[in-house]
Amino acid sequence: MAEDLRRLVIATRRSRLALWQAERVRARLAAARAGLAVELLPLSTKGDELLETSLAKAGGKGLFVKELEAALVDGRADLAVHSMKDVPAELPPGFVLAAIAERDDPRDAFCSARYGSLADMPAGAVVGTSSLRRAAQIRAAHPRLAIAPLRGNVETRLAKLDRGECDAAVLAVAGLKRLGLAGRIRALLAPQETLPAPGQAALGIECLAEREDVRRLVATLEDPVAAACVRAERAVSRALGGNCAVPLAAFAEAHEGRLALRALVASPDGSRVVRAECEGSEADPEALGEAVARMLRERGAAAILAALGT
């Protein structure tokens, strides 16, 4: 029973951002249960170590969670805290998302010491990003700009920007704010300019499906509105077989029990972008996500996915 829990161990990546996120969950769990000891287990993942290889070539989003899931299986940890945008659309058998916590600002941020926005950048200027989603949307809207790979944690990417490896960088607003780096944001990119990744800015808590004690305790951290939005977005990705090799974006907003979901699939070079949007009930977010995925396929996403081998 959850009432018998006296100690919990949270598996987390070692980056400063991941530790900040795990500490947020640790503090909330400790506050929710008097006498509960909550510890962090920082781990290095292959996604953190392979900094010179694109995620698409290295194996995708699972590279950021496999080591954490291994800690759950062998009993070193009871739960894992993830950035939801890093969690594969399909979890391995035996694992569940026990809660999707509150969501921060889901937008992308434009960072540059030289320019005020993407529109201000001259032809040939270099934008740093290793996100196919961001790169495809920037190429589609600003074909005059060049894209350069930019891997690493938030501080590493900003350091590369400061060294002049690129003229600007696009990063997640939430990560910058969580690290006290909001001052590096030159402009906020509206969803109409770069549609966010599924789950961007939301925290997810994963555990073994058999751990009913952990699931009941962690369920108190669920944010129902954020969870509905993220589950709708992830349903789009799941229905389309989304992975790091597919430039795919999905973003849902809630209003009075309804969800408005927008999504897109693009060719990596930005030459083709297929968009769809629809509204549905907050009570059945997966159905809404699947409906939008069907619309995308019918409008041409199927051909893009086929060309990418998905």
Residue 251, both tokens = 């973003």
196-214 pLDDT, tens digit each: 999 999 999 999 999 999 9
Run of H or E including 163? none
Using the predicted structure, report yes or no on whether residue 58 has a pLDDT greater than 50: no
CA distance 143 to 146: 8
Using the predicted structure, report yes or no on whether residue 284 has a pLDDT greater than 50: yes
Using the predicted structure, report yes or no on whether residue 63 has a pLDDT greater than 80: no
1-14 pLDDT, tens digit each: 345 688 999 999 99
Residue 142, both tokens = 């600003």
Q: Of 226, 228, 242, whose CA–CA distance to 293 is shortest?
A: 242
Domains of the chain and any CATH numbers: 1-101+202-222 (3.40.190.10), 108-189 (3.40.190.10), 223-310 (3.30.160.40)
The confidence score (pLDDT) of residue 54 equals 53
The confidence score (pLDDT) of residue 1 equals 36
Confidence at 310, pLDDT banded by 50, 70, 90: confident
Instruction: Name the active-site residue from 48, 78, 86, 167.
Output: 86
Q: Of 86, 96, 89, 60, whose CA–CA distance to 236 is shortest?
A: 89
Please, are residues 166 and 128 in contact by the beta-carbon 8 Å criterion? yes
Please, are residues 2 and 217 in contact by the beta-carbon 8 Å criterion? yes
Read off the pTM: 0.92
22-37 pLDDT, tens digit each: 999 999 999 988 899 9
Residue 200, both tokens = 């961007």
Q: Is the dihedral of CA 281, 283, 284, 285 positive or negative?
A: positive
86 is a catalytic site residue: yes
Q: Of 191, 284, 225, whose CA–CA distance to 101 is shortest?
A: 225
Residue with tokens 């947020």: 24
- The terminus-to-terminus CA distance of the chain in angstroms comes to 42
Residue 130, both tokens = 């290793």
Using the predicted structure, report yes or no on whether residue 218 has a pLDDT greater than 70: yes
